[in-house]
Structures are given as structure tokens and as C-alpha cells.
Amino acid sequence: MLLNIENLHVSIGKNKILKGINLKINFGETHVIMGPNGSGKSTLASIIAGKTDYNIIKGKIYFLNKDLLNISTEKRACLGIFLSFQNPVEIPGVSIINFIKTSINSIRKENKLDKMSSKDILSKSKYVSSLLNMEENFIYRFLNDGFSGGEKKRNEIFQMIMLNPIFSILDEIDSGLDIDAIKIIAKGINTYKSIKNSILIITHYKRLLNYINSEYIIHVLYDGKIMISGKKELVNELENKGYNWIKSLNNIKHK
């Protein structure tokens, strides 16, 4: 198993945010988390990626059978965990291409692999950026500096494909995008996805999922708990009924 979250309880200050999360993700699987605003989706993503300003009250997270909560954020990236941000940060002065070079080679170094040459990184960057319909000079722009919403999201997918992590979490990668941009994001996800990696997609909408080629399992996070999990059809039920009915579920359901 790639990721195993057991009975995770998390608070921020006095607020309990996650109230007993259980989630298992195997190699090759695609999982989707949906749920109302404020239900804890981004908190869960950040905890897996290693953000530290949370209080883990109880529970465990195992990644590749390692106790993840004892591993630093940087080391988690080296283990192959990638998180795309809901609101990516700007890094003026650092170009996309230099950022990706540094990221790729610091991860390779940590894993005792040889450096990837600048030439190879550049040719892969050109291939991936054209796949994502990015302009040719895009990779020379400063990271997220003046990027439109769509460009920021596309850049996150670019980073994911370039780094090729074994586990990616995409937090609202489709929010605020027009239909054509969503199709490009989905194309990027489909290009990245293989039997060797797993992905966790956090989204509010069915429209991204419509373009995802792989089978997926949906989980609904409601008030800090996964209240129901199911196959594709669950998303239709959510689109029709909204989230209010979820709170009346007494037991966690698996459809």
C-alpha cells in the first residue's frame, strides 16, 4: 500500500479540524475528495505533504510503510509526495526552468541518483510545456509572478509531470478555470498517471473528472470526517442533492 491514514485527528489552535480520517490508497489508484468549503480537505492535503502548523491529536499516516508524521516536509518530497497548492506562491526572481532544475536535482541527490543534465531537463520541459499549451517562453518567466489563475494551475501540472512523483495531491487544480483550460489540466493528469503512481484530486466539480481516463474512488469529507465513499455515480448524487444529506448519515458508508 502506498498511503494509509488511520484515525487521524487534527486541530488548529482550539479548533478540531479533522475528526478521525481513515483513507487507504494503493499503487496506481486515483482517489477524489469532495466536500463543502471548510470541511478540512486542504488541511488533510497539507498534513500529508508535511505542513507543520497543525496539532496532530492522534492517528497515524504511513507512506510506503514509513511513519510519515516523523518525516520532514523536504524528505517527504524526496520520498515522492507532491502537493499542488490551491493558491500557489509567487517567487519573483526564480524562473520556472531554474526552479524545476533545482527541485529535480535536489530530489535525485537525496535519492542518490545522478544529476539530470540541464539539456535533458530543458528538452523535457519543452515537451511538457507544449503538451500543456504553454507559450514557448513560459518556462523562462519568474515563478507565478504575474501569472493568471489558469497559468498558475497549468504550472502546477507542469511541475508534477516534470518531477514525476509517485504520489500527487491536486488541491482544487480546476477551480476558476474555463472549459478549455480544464481539458488541458485533465490532459496533463492523464499524461502523468500510470500504474506506478497514485493521485488524490480535491475538487468541487464533476467537470474535471469527466475528462479523467482512470477509474476513481470518491470520498466525501464532511465536518472533518469521510462520511461516504463510492464510485463515479456518487458525484452525480452530490451534484443533484448537494451536501446537506451527508450530515444525516450515521455510519460511514461505502457504496
Ligand X SMILES: Nc1ncnc2c1ncn2[C@@H]1O[C@H](COP(=O)(O)OP(=O)(O)O)[C@@H](O)[C@H]1O
**Shortest Å, Cβ 58 to ligand X:** 18
Among 38, 118, 145, 245, which residue sits at the site for ligand X (rule: CB under 6 A)?
38
Grid coordinates given for 96: 520556472
Supply angle C-alpha 201, 152, 86, rounded to 5: 40
Strand residues in 69-216 grouped as ranges (E): 81-84, 91-95, 142-143, 167-171, 198-202
Q: Give me the half-sphere count of Cα atoms (radius 13 Å) on the Cβ side of residue 166.
A: 14
Among 30, 39, 42, 125, which residue sits at the site for Mg ion (rule: CB under 5 A)?
42
**Shortest Å, Cβ 45 to Mg ion:** 8
Q: Taking CB positions, which residue lies at the least distance from Mg ion?
A: 42
Nearer to ligand X, 97 or 202 (CB): 202
CA–CA separation, 122 vs 67, rounded Å? 35
Local structure of residue 88 (DSSP, 8 states): P
C-alpha 71: how far from its chain's center? 18
**Shortest Å, Cβ 44 to ligand X:** 7
Nearer to ligand X, 39 or 159 (CB): 39
Subset of 139-198 contacting ligand X (CB under 6 A): none
Interaction between residue 41 and ligand X (CB under 6 A): yes
Interaction between residue 23 and ligand X (CB under 6 A): no
Interaction between residue 37 and ligand X (CB under 6 A): yes
Grid coordinates given for 251: 455510519
**Shortest Å, Cβ 155 to ligand X:** 21
CB count, 10 Å around CB of 211? 16
Nearer to ligand X, 37 or 240 (CB): 37
List, in order, residues 6 or more apart from 210 with CB less than 8 Å away: none
Task: Tell me the per-residue interface mask from 112 to 151 with Mg ion, x by CB under 5 A, - otherwise.
Answer: ----------------------------------------
CA–CA separation, 2 vs 11, rounded Å? 25
Binding site for Mg ion (CB under 5 A): 41-42
Binding site for ligand X (CB under 6 A): 12, 15, 17, 35, 37-43
